[in-house]
Each structure stands twice: as structure tokens, then as C-alpha cells.
Structure 1
């Protein structure tokens, strides 16, 4: 799906004018595949724009996502090392990651590795909590993380240094000639890191990374044409108790061609893409490459059928291939074909939405997913909404065909999710309280007894979220609390690495030119499983502070301290996390 920038800008302008001076309406691009004011979306959505991302001064993408409602991150060390994401208690593979509307991630692993996605290339992040398979197909069981990469405007130079030998720089430029706009961003970062497992190697585990993006956009009488090329290559070290491989080369490369056009009441969008994901682990005795490719075609059209009714329909096709690997897969390619459609109705205080999608693959048959939602505004401030949706996840190539530890008889995971929410909005903030429940049938879990993945009968996930944004006494505060109850019905145990309670708090204030913030992130203890070095890990709270200062109209200095009180904690058994660490960055934009 293309990011409809022209429509989003128009809608944002209209919504902003209608809000109070200190409240800017955020726009959801991906929740309904159309730009929609966040207050009109019948789902739980959090949007971070580029200014939000920069002001938080997070060291990497997993650190940033861990500060958002409903998300927990389990890290195998620091920056560059593997991170597992759990959205509303779902597995890592239950969250679909889109980058510029393109499905991403390794077809062998079944999810996107987030640790090496550079924040410097990100313009916008939209997190949709709750199933969205009726719009996007497989993998969107727990939600969708939609990332929009940067489109440079003018020239900008950034540089940063920090603890553990962290250093990086990036340059963005753009040029407009008539109806053609060309932009480019390139950068480099590295760190010595720290020893992520003291019971194994005594060395530091660092990383290096290079990334670049080149994009062009052309306005014509028959629509807007977009083309872009992204490349992100890197190297990271890690510690593992399995074998001797403790280093990895990574490469992500994508090509994208898009078109969008408005003809009367009809909006048309089309997109072609190719994504390569290469992860090669190596050590003194072996080398294990895993290279997968995905070609994808998207088309959608939408129109206002009446003043109250809007309709959308589209088709999606993608092929996944194991292009190269260190082992032989019995089957190394598959094709998915899909059709989706949906409608939204709004009249006075009432909103109704419905969507349905049919996916058919040559590997595991067909799956139909659907979504229904309703919302009612009791007043301009109070809204209640409810939704129910079905979703599925296909078994990965590793699940089905990895030699010695695969199960070709696996069935797709199936879920039905319910959500009820009440939302209050005021001129100085908002409060949202959400209850959700997700029943997962045929959950795929790795069985250490048989050393292969198995479909367990069912997993049950339920929880609640309280999200508060408020501006009081010139202090902007963001508060998010999540309670999650998970159970593997086969064993009666909680699902691993899902804390029952999570709290994120951030407060920011402006003093003249100086802007400063303080943050606190808490999670309760986590069950690690019977085969982990520690069956349970204790809870913890991590504090952070930061500030920014514009030296001039062109130069901004930012500094922060993370893990302020040097808390010793773990999110994955045996793996250490960073102690107190600092960061310093400069941003220069010629006027």
C-alpha cells in the first residue's frame, strides 16, 4: 500500500484547523488503508512523527518501540543484537511490519528483525494494536507496525556519539526541478558494544551499519509516480550457546515503484516492490547464509459511494523464495494471492466499519479473514467503540521444512479477537481505556521434547490498556499502562517473556529554548520457560533524562542519559542489558 501523502496533508490541514490551538490531530494512514483522523479510527492507534522520534532520543528502534503502549521487547543484548517484539502478548511473528507499505521480514524466520533498522531513515511510525489481517493478510494477528522512511527536504546533517563506542553520522539532501523531486539519505553507525553473555565469550559484542535511500517523485497529469531504492547492510557480533557461530553479516535491499491518481470521486493506488533479506551467521568452523526474496504487487481503489458511505477494494499478490541457504529446504518458494474489500459508514454520532479478505496460497490453502467495528460519539468528547476480527499466520519455511527440526503437517495459526474501548478527548489531552481478548487456535510453539514446532490446542490472551496524554502547567505528559494475562492451555503456564504489567511514563517541558524530558519504563516479572537458565526474571524500572538546545536556527544539540540509576536487569534469560549510558547528537540544517 502506498503512503497517500497528498491526501494525508489535506486531511491533516483540515483537522488541525478544527482542533484547539494546542492539539494537533494525528492522521492514521494504515489502519483502514486510507488517511483517517486518529479520532475517527475504530482501533487503538499510536502515531509518532519525525519530531517525536528525534525528541525521544532512543538509541535504536527496539528501544523506541518499547516505550509505546502494548509493546514489550526481549533483547539478546544491546544495539545490533537480536530483539523479540511482543505486541499485546502475541508472538514476534504475530505483528506485521510494513515499510513504506511493503511487507517485510525474512520468509525463513517469519518476522522482521528490528535491531538493524536505522532510526535515521525513519520519518514516521504507526502502531495499530489489534488484528488487521482483513486488510493485510497473514501475520497481522496482534497488530501492524507501519514505518515510513524519510523524504529529505533540503539538506540536513546529523552526527552522534555515545557510550560503548557508539558513533554515527548521516546526510540527507533533496532537489526539486519542475514536477520532479529527487531526494537521498546516506549514513553510517557503529559501536564496540558490551559483553552480552558473561557466561560465554569475554569479548564485547558490537555492530557496524551502512544505509542509504534514493527516491524520486514525479507529478504528472495521469497521477503521481514514485520510485525508490533502499539498502541497509551491517555486521554484528553476538553470543550464543548453540554452536560456534557468533557473528553475522546482514543485508536488506528493497526496490519500489508506485503510482497514485484521483479521477473524479475515485482514488487509485498501485505499487510494485522487491525486497531481499540476507542474514549470514558465521564463526571459525562454519558459515550459514539465509537469503529470502519477496516480490509484491498491490492495487487498491476507493470512492465515496454516498455522503455517508465509503468503499474500498483491492488485490494483493506476493511470492516468497528462499534464494540461498545453508541447508536444503524440501520446498523453497510459495505464492499468495488475495482480494480484499471494505466499507465504512458514518452518520452523525454513529460509525460502522467492515472488511473482509481472502488469501489463497499454493502451500497451505485458503484463509478468509474479516473485521467488524462500531463506534458512537455520546458527545464531542466521549466515544465508545467495539470491534471483532479474525486473523491468521502461515507457518514459516523454517517451521515446515528446516532439516531435522521441522513439521510439514503444521496448520496456520488462527485467531478471533475482541476489543471494547472508551475514549475521552479534551483540549489539553485525552484518555483511552481498552479491554481486549485474543483466542489463538493452533498456536505454533517449539517443543523441546520432540525438537520440532507443534500446533498446541489454544492460547488465551486478554488484557487492558490505559493511555493518557495530558498537558498540565506547561508539562506534556504521556502515560501508558498495560495489563496482559496469557495462558498456554496445554500446560496452564503463561506464555514466555510476556510481563503481566507494563508502564511507560514520559514528561516534557520547555524552558525558553531548552526542552527537557524525564521518562520511566516499568515491567513486572516474566516467565522464561522451563528450559531457560532462569525460569522467571524479576521486574524492573528504568529511568531516563534528556534535553535539547537550539544553538542557532541551523544547529540543534541534544543529550540524554538512559538507565539513569544503572539498573541491572534482563529481558531475556542469560543476556545482559546496557547499564547507565549517555548519548550526544548534533543536527545541522543550513538555512
Structure 2
């Protein structure tokens, strides 16, 4: 039997899975896929627009709560109401409806998933759950398929580099996910949902606040029979051995707990816990040309995510406040019966100081991060284990007065392996008129190689940190029921890490990682919306050019143009929605020889309060049953329907 070794995720998240004979199949290593898209978003690419829509919304893009109207940055916010109305089953599906974001998924929900902000690699996005950093120390990036959407109450997305605030990884942006927080009284909830491909969802929980103590607890379970992600057709002929006729479903169980205690009006302690376990069937992208053709086994992947955090916030006087935080996360990925297992553990310590003097805000933060990786490529191979640490000092300055907003940040990171790295950013906003605001920013960012990229048999100890320089300009307009936004950006990345199958001097004959590539991410994002009576219109258009500068080729699986156009209509107690999503062609490979066609999808939705306490959500995605692919060899789910009921006593 001939077996193949391949990285099962492109741009981050999973390491190469090995079978017995260790013969490489590099072309097939690049065959991970784009996933489904299922959300009516809360539109908000421009902070001025969001401030109007959401009032004095507080965001934490700079790790300090501040009004959205004071922030100089390209930010989107999705709240619980928008998440529930979407009927989405994955966090990535929610993000895919936001401006500047695309996703990739090798099959259905539960399979390997990547998120690209402005075309940047998935590992270039720093991801936090209740302030707890999650990441993979294999090829890098958060394991999106393991994050339970049922436990998420709010999402904040910052597009653009933020390493001067968050350190390594925040080259493309930062995504923060927050679970529910208890409010006054007792608020139980319960929900059920049913959908195509045998989808079933059930959730329940309770939150509340009594005196100085607040709490929130939630559990959820969902499962789906799925669909055959690699059916036999002209794209995946069965004679090539790519097909496995089984349905590739998934099963997800998750829970979270958040406890808070208000010591006094100026001091608070908060503890958070979250756990998720996702089991999903998949078809490995490996070709066997034998006679008779060899059928695949029913492989199953398991993603387990655990996060924990403890935070003490104190306001000592009108000028000085502090925040002390200890966090821990564990991300585990394994496959059966073709055994593979990798586990990443991250421990974080944060001591943040804030000084407020009128319109001035000064921050000084000490931070330590500890990364550890354990990797078991087969049951018989030697366990690979490695760790490292990073210590950092960051300083920030903010000024808001009249039409002017200024933000300056500088950070010094010292890595236990690479030594010191300094990053900085500057952003300025000016209100030309009460309705029109101009913004400009520039920043540098970096990401150190993962432990797997350096020390595995596919690694190279001489890898250098990836580094970037970014500039962007923006205009935001808000007048009454009309809003519009324009952002122009350009980012260059040096020492881009790629897998080089032709490299020499590697431990593996398959090749190894190299930090010799250069990339440029540039583009324009347009957003807009208008309300006419009971009808709300919204739209976004992205034109981007994520390009490998060494070859002048487009980066794989990223479209140059993608757009959404949507409308919501409130009528007779119902909210009816329609959305068109369109994307141009993209290439399946780095050489730009395998073209994937563009597509246009129509999504429909409806929601209403059946009774005072029960809400109904119905959704039909890809109503035209468009046959399309996000990657060669992988199918999408076709037309899908969802119906959900949720009980939230008033």
C-alpha cells in the first residue's frame, strides 16, 4: 500500500498527519477547502456607523474599554441577537459575513477551518475568548472548528495590525469572543433547532445577578449527519480513489461558566471557564492509484478546547486603575483510526496600568506568555515536546478632544529563542464635519515561528519571525439613517513562512518549512447602509490583492472580489431578510494553475416572537442550490434550511 503525508491545514492549525510508509504527496497537501457561509450580520465596518447604531458601545480593541466613537480603527461588532438570528452553526460562518473576511473549510462544520482577514494567513489573527489567548503551535492559528458558537454572546473584530498592543501574531487583526455575563435578576433560557443534513441543536442555561455576585452558565449540544464532502463526480473521479461514500457528520458538546464578584464599587474579580469537544468525520485528501481502487476508512477528527481565566480589576482613584489577569488554554486535535495527536498549551500573565488625565489616557502593560507543544504523529513514533516563553512591556497613549483622536502604541517583546522585537503603531482620526470622519494609521507587527515549524522533523531551527508593515486610510460617513465607509490598506510581510517541498537539508524527504517568501496584502473595503421606513439596506464590497511577491501569484483560496447585499424588512411582527453573497474566482494552488469558479448565493431568513417568551428563527441558505466549491475535491452543503425556537422568559 502507498500512503501519503500531508499538512491537513493550509495557513495554520494542524500539523502533517503521517501514515505508515511516510511517502509525501505535496500537491494534495494543499487541498484544504473553503467552508459554508451562513449569517445575517450586524453591519459595522465603520466605527462612526456603529456608534450611531449601537449608541455608546464600549469596545476593547486596545485592551482598554473605550467608546467606539473614540476608537481609530476598522472594527466590526456582532451581538447575541445577530448571532441567534443568523441560524449559524460555527463562529467562522458568522465572521464570513463581515467586511474584509473570508473563510476556508475542508468539508462541513467541524472540519479544519481557516479565517482570512484582508487576505492575510489565518495564523496572522490573534484570537481571544474572554481575554484568554487561543492558538495552535503546529502550523499556527486558532482552531476555529473547536470554538463553540453556542457559548458566544458577542464578537469584536479589529482589522489591521495590532502587535504593538497584543504582541506576536496580530499581523492581520484581532478577534475577541465574549461569553454571556450575568445581569440583574435571574434569566434562564432554552432552545432547540433543526436543519438540513439531520442537524439537531439543543441548548440551555441561566444567568443572573444578586447583590455583589453575578453568574452565567450555559451548555449546548448539536449534531449533524452531514453530507459526503468528496462525492464522485467530474471533479473527484472515483478511479483516483478520492471518494468515500459515507456522510461526514459532526457532534459538538460545549459548556461555559462565568462568575463575578464586585468587591466594592471600584474592584471586581471575575473567573471564566469554557470547554468544547467536537467530533467530525472527514475524508483525507490522499490519492491511491491501485487496482482495485482502495476505499478510505471512515476517519474521525476530535477537537477539544479548554480555556480558563481569572481577572482582578481595580480603580484606585479617578486617575489610576489596574487589571491583573492569569489565563490558560489547551487546544487538542487528534484523528482516528489513522492516529495523529497534537496539543498546544498557552499560559498568560497580564498586569495592566491605566492613567487618565482629562482627554489623555496612558497605559503601561507587563505581559508574559508561555507556549508548550506536544505532538504525537503516530502511535509508535517518539513524542515531540517543546516549549518557549515571551516577556513584554507595552506603552500606549490616547488623546480624544473635539474633532481629534490620537492613538500611539509601542511594545517590546523578548522571546526566549529569538531575543527582542519592537513594534509600534500610530493612528489619527479627524472629524471633518459632524457626519464625516477621516482616519489614518500605520503600524508594524510580527509573528514568531511555531514550535512545530522549528523543531519537528519538518521544521527548521533557523526560521526567522515573520514581520510586516501596514498603512491604511479611511473615511466614515454617518447622517441620519445613512452610513458609508471606505478603507484603503496595504501591508507587506517579510520572511513569510511557507512549506517548501523542494528544500534541501531537511530532516524529512517530504521537505520542510522556510521563511524566504514575501507577500503583499492590499485592497479597498466599501461598506454602506440606509434605512427606509421599516426596511434596512446594507452592503459591503471588498477588492483585495493578496499576492506572493516572489512569484507574482495570488495566494491560494482567496478571491480578489467578494461582496454582500442585504435587506431586512419589519412587517406584521416579523423580521424578513434577504441577502446576496457573491465572490469572484480564486485559485486552488499556489501556482495559480487550478481555477475555482466564482459564485453568487441567495440567503433568506425570517424571525418573529411567537409568544412573549418564545422566538422563532427560520433560514434558507443557498436558496438556488448553487453547485460550487471552495477547494478542489471538497463539496459544499448545497441548499440548507434551519428552524429554531428559543425560550427566554421576560
TM-score of the aligned structures, taking structure 1 as reference length: 0.92
Which of the residues 213, 216, 235 maps onto 2:259? 216
Show the counterpart of 2:495: 442
Q: Distance in 2 between matches of 1:228 and 1:125?
A: 16
Q: Distance in 1 between matches of 2:549 and 2:614?
A: 56
Instruction: Look up the SS of the partner of 2:54 in the other structure.
Output: coil
In the TM superposition, residue 31 of structure 1 has moved relative to its aligned partner by: 1.7
1:221-279: CA deviations, max 9, x gaps? 36111112211112111111249682112211122111111111222111111111111
Q: Distance in 2 between matches of 1:206 and 1:142?
A: 32
Show the counterpart of 2:403: 349
Query: Cα distance 1:586–1:415, how it changes in 2: closer, same or farther (>3 A)?
Result: same
RCO higher in structure (CA 8 A, sep ≥6): 2
Query: Cα distance 1:280–1:101, how it changes in 2: closer, same or farther (>3 A)?
Result: same
Show the counterpart of 2:373: 322
Q: How much is the aligned-residue C-alpha RMSD, in angstroms?
A: 2.0
CA contact (8 A) 1:298 1:317 kept: yes
In the TM superposition, residue 182 of structure 1 has moved relative to its aligned partner by: 2.6
Show the counterpart of 1:363: 417
Instruction: Single out whichever of 113-122 and 559-568 deviates more from structure 2.
Output: 113-122
Show the counterpart of 1:387: 441
1:59-112: CA deviations, max 9, x gaps? 322211111000011221111111121110100101111111121122223111
Which of the residues 576, 579, 594 maps onto 1:519? 579
Q: Distance in 1 between matches of 2:84 and 2:112?
A: 23
Structure 2 residue 646 is matched with structure 1 residue 587: yes
1:191-235: CA deviations, max 9, x gaps? 010011123211111111111112211111361111122111121
In the TM superposition, residue 413 of structure 1 has moved relative to its aligned partner by: 0.5
Show the counterpart of 2:11: none
Show the counterpart of 2:181: 151
Show the counterpart of 2:10: none
Show the counterpart of 1:234: 278
Q: Distance in 2 between matches of 1:19 and 1:253?
A: 35
CA contact (8 A) 2:375 2:383 kept: no
CA contact (8 A) 2:246 2:298 kept: no
Instruction: Look up the SS of the partner of 1:197 in the other structure.
Output: coil
Show the counterpart of 1:39: 69
Structure 2 unmatched runs, 5+: 1-47, 232-241, 287-295, 504-510
CA contact (8 A) 2:320 2:355 kept: yes
Matches within 5 A, 1:401-550: 401-403=455-457, 405-450=458-503, 451-529=511-589, 535-550=594-609
Structure 2 residue 104 is matched with structure 1 residue 74: yes
Q: Distance in 1 between matches of 2:441 and 2:416?
A: 31
Show the counterpart of 2:454: 400
Q: Distance in 2 between matches of 1:329 and 1:432?
A: 51
CA contact (8 A) 1:23 1:429 kept: no
Instruction: Single out whichever of 541-550 and 35-44 deviates more from structure 2.
Output: 35-44
Show the counterpart of 1:122: 152
Query: Cα distance 1:407–1:245, how it changes in 2: closer, same or farther (>3 A)?
Result: farther
Query: Cα distance 1:529–1:558, how it changes in 2: closer, same or farther (>3 A)?
Result: same
In the TM superposition, residue 317 of structure 1 has moved relative to its aligned partner by: 0.7
Show the counterpart of 1:309: 360
Show the counterpart of 2:616: 557
Show the counterpart of 2:343: 291
Show the counterpart of 2:226: 193
Aligned residues between the structures: 569
Query: Cα distance 1:556–1:30, how it changes in 2: closer, same or farther (>3 A)?
Result: same
In the TM superposition, residue 294 of structure 1 has moved relative to its aligned partner by: 1.0
Q: Distance in 1 between matches of 2:615 and 2:50?
A: 28
Structure 2 residue 631 is matched with structure 1 residue 575: no
Instruction: Look up the SS of the partner of 1:400 in the other structure.
Output: helix
Q: Distance in 1 between matches of 2:297 and 2:454?
A: 25
Instruction: Single out whichever of 153-162 and 465-474 deviates more from structure 2.
Output: 465-474
Q: Distance in 1 between matches of 2:89 and 2:612?
A: 25
Query: Cα distance 1:414–1:244, how it changes in 2: closer, same or farther (>3 A)?
Result: farther
Instruction: Look up the SS of the partner of 2:557 in the other structure.
Output: coil
Q: Distance in 1 between matches of 2:257 and 2:111?
A: 27
Structure 2 residue 143 is matched with structure 1 residue 91: no
Instruction: Look up the SS of the partner of 1:115 in the other structure.
Output: helix
In the TM superposition, residue 440 of structure 1 has moved relative to its aligned partner by: 0.5
In the TM superposition, residue 118 of structure 1 has moved relative to its aligned partner by: 1.8
Instruction: Single out whichever of 537-546 and 342-351 deviates more from structure 2.
Output: 342-351
Structure 2 residue 310 is matched with structure 1 residue 248: no
Show the counterpart of 1:270: 324
In the TM superposition, residue 29 of structure 1 has moved relative to its aligned partner by: 2.1
Q: Distance in 1 between matches of 2:446 and 2:278?
A: 32
In the TM superposition, residue 175 of structure 1 has moved relative to its aligned partner by: 4.3
CA contact (8 A) 1:127 1:146 kept: yes
Q: Distance in 1 between matches of 2:642 and 2:98?
A: 21
Show the counterpart of 1:160: 193
TM-score of the aligned structures, taking structure 2 as reference length: 0.84
Instruction: Look up the SS of the partner of 1:160 in the other structure.
Output: strand
Instruction: Look up the SS of the partner of 1:567 in the other structure.
Output: coil
In the TM superposition, residue 33 of structure 1 has moved relative to its aligned partner by: 1.7
